[in-house]
Chain A
Amino acid sequence: MMILSVRDLRVRAGERLILDGVTLDVRAGEVCAIMGPNGSGKSTLTGVLAGRPGLEVISGTATYLGRDLLAMPAEERARQGLFLAFQYPVEIPGVNNVYLLKASLNALRKHRGEPELDAFEFLNLVRAKIRQMQMDESLLNRGVNEGFSGGEKKRNEILQMSLLEPTLALLDETDSGLDIDALKVVADGVNALRSPDRAIVMVTHYQRLLDYVVPDQVHVLAGGRIVRSGGRELALELERRGYDWLREGTAAA
């Protein structure tokens, strides 16, 4: 089953054309990695799929579970099971982390016609997840990402993901800035989500994450297009050779 299907997507931010014809398919059960040099448009791609404001779609389509993704408001996409782990999770001072989690989970449940969890059920659930993520419970009662270390922010994203159990998870450099132990914890979180009816798109710069979460496909985004696709061996090749040989390839093509 196709979860996400992007066709010839062109996107502008401000005056600049950033995505210049991206085509991408993600099937149920797949993990797909997106790599590419800084500034190549990876976050723009995950952002436009999640409904980030300020990005203008010029042409192309994105179909999610058979529906026109780009026509849905951002919160609707989230309620339909699309989750974005942010490259730079934002701080929301004074808003309890656990309060946001609860509001979020209940918004999704309500959308699915399920009853809201009461405080007790919810807390049990969160406690279990937070142990999995090996996070300090005190982070639950701090402001959302307020004063969190870089690594704590990333783990918090994965905590949210494991609680919300999305159908399509977009992870934007969730591995950047993690120490080795944290990387394993995050990878375990992602692997736990892997299932035949879900899909995961991981944006990463490092082969290391892909050792733990083995991708089915690897795509290279450069100059606003997917310039190369392959299996996990493509990631290893990139690690050895960098991106320059691909750039030349596009210029020639």
Chain B
Amino acid sequence: MKSNQQELESLVGRKYRHGFVTDIASDTVPPGLSEDVIRVISTKKGEPAFMLDWRLKAYRRWLKMTAPTWAHVHYPPIDFQGISYYSAPKQRTDGPKSLDEVDPKLLETYDKLGIPLHERARLAGVAVDAVFDSVSVATTFKERLAEAGVVFCSFSEAVQNHPALIERYLGTVVPVSDNFYATLNSAVFTDGSFVYVPKGVRCPMELSTYFRINASKTGQFERTLIIADEGSHVSYLEGCTAPMRDENQLHAAVVELIAQDDAQIKYSTVQNWYPGDENGVGGIYNFVTKRGDCRGRNSKISWTQVETGSAITWKYPSCILRGDGSVGEFYSVALANHYQQADTGTKMIHMGRNTRSTIVSKGISAGHGQNAYRGLVKILPGAEGARNYTQCDSLLMSETCGAHTFPYIEVRNPTAVVEHEASTSKISDDQLFYCLQRGIAAEDAVNMIVNGFCKQVFKELPMEFAVEAQNLLAVSLEGAVG
């Protein structure tokens, strides 16, 4: 009999189901980056002067920066002049006022992706902001949210309608100068989502943004800002897909979260950007800066991510635990199959007293995939009684893949308690045979075992998306049996 290991390797072939292209006329700025291009973007969006200044400052700073090289990923230098920084589907009007004005081709695209935007087919209990290339094309349930006082709209709209909030909070968590890709994003970002939950409000539904890259030779640079005012609660989810193309496309996003006293933000990601083909050709470079600031006392920020897509993922959703008693969490599943490379993890910066953080990272490597966990736990002198628990598990599914862990721990307060556990395992022949002997097909058995490995993370996802994440993982590990 063929060994289960060989069978396992043939099982982790991958079919990407969101690889289609929408044929739609677009307004695309020619490739290249300069102050002029930034002015064009700012003008197209009708931005106030403070935004243009902010962008230009970022751009001038970026010119003096160099791309980071410390991550465990390898790729040829990116030609930043070869990318178009703005691409939007042509609309009949300046911006659709209602869904009736949205191009049916766009609505069809989202239907196909399983994110219906029409009134009748909408996901119950989930409000969606749909971002297509550089712009938001629709946001659902806006009125119902407004009744609760919650602002949920595209970033561009927020700049128009809530400039004071933007000016006050933008760049306060991820400063313009933070890192190469964040600085680039600050200069050229085009759209994204904005959320403001006022004092004492529990957001009545899940909020979500669905990011879609469609045009070729473009980058997607989105910016998301979520502010949870005192005592408020919000749960937000983002999903991402892109067509299959031979070229690599850059996605460099910035996400900033702010939680005031007693506020809670739960931020979940199901990332399924096109990963490239089985030979490693094409795919998205996903270089993302995500950071949450637990600014207030007893605030809580929880990151949950399921990263199955992208050729390269470089991403460290982090928490600054500033408020006393604040809590940071990071739950992650990252899959690297074929020639995918993932370097992901988190930073937990403990500043306040009695701050707590939990890190659970599950890395799955298959094919020639390379998966690295990189995490920093930093306890500053003022963080009396801080606690961290880190658990870092790797699952290897082939002989040619790799799993790496880079934990960094800096403790500058003797009362802190920091725990770190790590494990590396394989799906054993015995586990697979056990399932087969119970009549379960090999493919189902692998999915079952992998899902079991990820269980701690999946249970953190909002109910509506836990099933989607499981299915996605199943698709990502799908292939012909035997």
Contact = CB atoms under 8 A, between A and B. Distances in A.
Contacts of A54: 1, 3, 429
A52 B434 CA distance: 9
A135 to B, nearest CB: 18
B165 interface: no
Given A74-B433, A75-B439, A103-B440, A55 B451 contact: no
Contact of B428 (A77, A84, A90): A90
Contact of B4 (A50, A53, A89, A92): A53
Given A90-B428, A92-B449, A93-B453, A51 B438 contact: no
B455 interface: yes
B456 A84 contact: no
B439 A104 contact: yes
A94 B439 contact: no
B444 A103 contact: yes
B430 interface: yes
Interface in A119-157: 143-144
Interface in B432-465: 433-442, 444, 448-449, 451-456
B2 interface: yes
Interface string A14-32: 0000000000000000000
A84 B1 contact: no
A94 B453 CA distance: 6
Contacts of B431: 90, 92
Interface string B72-92: 000000000000000000000
Interface residues of A, number: 34
Interface residues of B, number: 28
Contact of B440 (A84, A86, A90, A104): A104
B434 A92 contact: yes
Nearest to B434: A90
Contacts of A73: 436, 482
A178 interface: no
Q: Is the interface of A mostly helix, strand, loop or mixed?
A: mixed
A180 interface: no
Contact of B438 (A93, A96, A100, A111): A100
Contacts of B435: 92, 100
A229 B286 CA distance: 67
Contacts of A56: 1
Contact of B1 (A55, A79, A108, A160): A55
B448 A95 contact: yes
Interface in A32-86: 50-56, 73-75, 77-79, 83-84, 86
B437 A100 contact: no
A53 B437 contact: no
B440 A93 contact: no
Contacts of A100: 435, 438, 440, 448
B439 A79 contact: yes
Contact of A93 (B429, B442, B452): B452
A94 to B, nearest CB: 3
Given A92-B434, A94-B455, A100-B448, 10 more contacts: A53-B3, A75-B442, A78-B438, A90-B434, A92-B431, A92-B448, A95-B451, A103-B444, A104-B439, A144-B452
Interface of A: 50-56, 73-75, 77-79, 83-84, 86, 89-90, 92-96, 99-100, 103-104, 107-108, 111, 143-144, 160, 164
22 contacts: A50-B437, A53-B433, A74-B437, A75-B440, A75-B442, A86-B434, A86-B437, A90-B428, A92-B431, A92-B448, A93-B452, A94-B451, A99-B448, A100-B438, A100-B448, A104-B438, A107-B438, A107-B444, A144-B434, A144-B452, A160-B438, A164-B438
Nearest 7 Cβ contacts at the A-B interface: A94-B452, A95-B452, A104-B438, A94-B455, A78-B439, A107-B439, A74-B436
